[in-house]
Amino acid sequence: MFLKRQKSATLIILLLGFLSYSFFLYMSLPVKSKPLKKEVDAGKMVWQQYNCNACHQVYGLGGYLGPDLTNVYSKRGPAYIGSFLKAGVGAMPLFNLTEAETKSLLTYLKDIDASGTSDPKTFTINYDGTIEQK
């Protein structure tokens, strides 16, 4: 039988585990010594302000109406992206971004691109069901 004391003990152990896990992650985030770059941060705010995420993904997370943009910077280059933003193709609205907004956005996309590769083809699958990226 599950006694009252066992229930409390289980709860306390789980809670302690959860809190230590949380605070460990907060205190030592996976990517170290990254001071906030003003231009990147401004780009992130533009990204959020226009809700690009509603149609685009970063690392596969986001809406599915448009393509994943994690590595669009190295794949297409800033000139292509800049002109794409001015065109409003298909379902993508014309945002009429200012020059400064476009510039920050490009810096942000460059920063995301430098952080890794989201393409699932770059992963190898292990027998235990885990995956690895070279």
Partner 1 sequence: MEPSNKNNLSTSKLFILAGLLLLAIGMLFGLTGALQYLAPQFLKQYLSFEKIRPLHVSSVVFWIIFAAMGSVLTYLQQYNGKKIFSPWLLKIQFGIFSITVVAILITYVFGVFGGREYWEFHPLLAMPLITGWILFIINFMASLVSFKNLPVYVWMWLTGLFFFLFTFIESYLWLIPYFRSNVVNDMTVQWKSYGSMVGSWNMLIYGSSIFLMEKISGSKKYSHTPIAFVLYFTGLFNLMFNWGHHIYTLPTYPFVKHISYTVSMTELLILGRIIWLWKSSVDTARRHYHQAAYRFLLAADVWIFLTLLLAIAMSIPAINVYTHGTHITVAHTMGATIGINSFILLAIAFDILKDSCMPFEKSIKWINRGYYTANISLLFFWLSLVMAGILKAKWQMNDASIPFSSMMLQLRPYFIIFFVSGVGLITGFYLVLFPLIKNQFICQYKKLFIKREKNETVFIIDQFQSV
Tell whether residue 87 is a contact of partner 1 (CB under 8 A): no
Tell whether residue 21 is a contact of partner 1 (CB under 8 A): yes
φ and ψ at residue 63, rounded to 5 degrees = -75, 165
Q: Please, what is the minimum distance in Å from the beta carbon of residue 83 to partner 1?
A: 16
The long-range contacts involving 97-104, CB below 8 angstroms and separated by at least 24 positions, are 97/46, 97/50, 101/46, 103/39, 104/39, 104/40, 104/42, 104/43, 104/45, 104/46
Tell whether residue 72 is a contact of ligand HEC (CB under 6 A): yes
Query: In degrees, to the nearest 5, what angle opens at C-alpha 84 toward C-alphas 80 and 88?
Result: 175
Closest CA to 112 of 52, 77, 71: 71
Q: Which residues bind ligand HEC (CB under 6 A)?
A: 50-52, 54-56, 65-67, 69, 72, 76, 81, 84-85, 89-93, 95, 105
Interacting residues with partner 1 (CB under 8 A): 1-2, 4, 7, 10-11, 14, 17-18, 21-22, 25-26, 29-31, 34-37, 40-41, 44, 47-55, 57-68, 90-91, 93, 111-112, 115-116, 118-121, 123, 125-126, 129-131, 133
